[in-house]
Amino acid sequence: MNPMEFFHKKNGFPFQDALSQPHVNPESLQGIKDMVKQYQTILNDDFWGEVNGLRKHKTKNEPVLPIEIWENDENIYLLVVSPGLPDLQHAQIFFENDYECKLKIKTNSLMPKNDVTLLSTELPQQFYEREISIGKAVDTSDYSSSYEDGLLTYKFQKAKNTIDIPIDF
């Protein structure tokens, strides 16, 4: 139902009779609820953001794992920004094939050395994962990992006897 249809009813305002009564009956209350639901479908964040320029800044609850991929003649390096990783046991890498991997990480808060109470955090404190395309074939059985200052580094040996086929679109 179009929300404006409420105002085209015989009496105009959809629950005008209900407001003149000392007690609100359940049917009138349901009419009010229906009208509010209809208006919420129209006057949502898209409306306020695009029509009036008042979009609320939403923070995504999806954790992000920023990465960089580097190479030299023999190796590919995958660097993952992951603050709060207690140790390498909290990071797992699974290979889909020679070119792609899935990274699963569990991070914790970065608690200072003294006994303190956490007031606010934007760091994800949960398991999360990311699929990563390495872009070149690597030897999935021969790699090393290290973690220092919030940076998780994987070092892969490039796969031998592979042919890089340039793709031109």
In a domain, 154, yes or no: yes
Residue 151's contacts (CB-CB under 8 Å, 6 or more residues apart) are 79, 80, 81, 82
Q: What is the pTM of this model?
A: 0.55
Count structural domains, the chain: 2
Residues present in the chain in total: 169
At residue 59, does pLDDT exceed 60? no
Residues 44 and 72 in one domain: no
* Predicted pLDDT of residue 47: 65
pLDDT at 113: 74
- Looking at the structure, tell me whether residues 45 and 73 fall in a common domain: no
User: Do 85 and 22 belong to one domain?
Assistant: no
List the domain range (segments joined by +) for residue 21: 3-51
71 and 121: one domain?
A: yes
Residue 141 and residue 90 share a domain: yes
- Domain co-membership, 13 together with 91: no
Q: Is 120 inside any structural domain?
A: yes
Is residue 169, in this structure, part of any structural domain at all? no
- 81 and 45 assigned to the same domain: no
Residues 77 and 141 in one domain: yes
Residue 132: inside a domain, yes or no? yes
Give residue 92's pLDDT band: very low, low, confident or very high (50, 70, 90): very high
N- to C-terminal Cα distance for the chain? 48
Q: Is residue 44 part of a domain?
A: yes
Residue 94's CB: how many other CB atoms inside 10 A?
A: 12
Residues 90 and 124 in one domain: yes
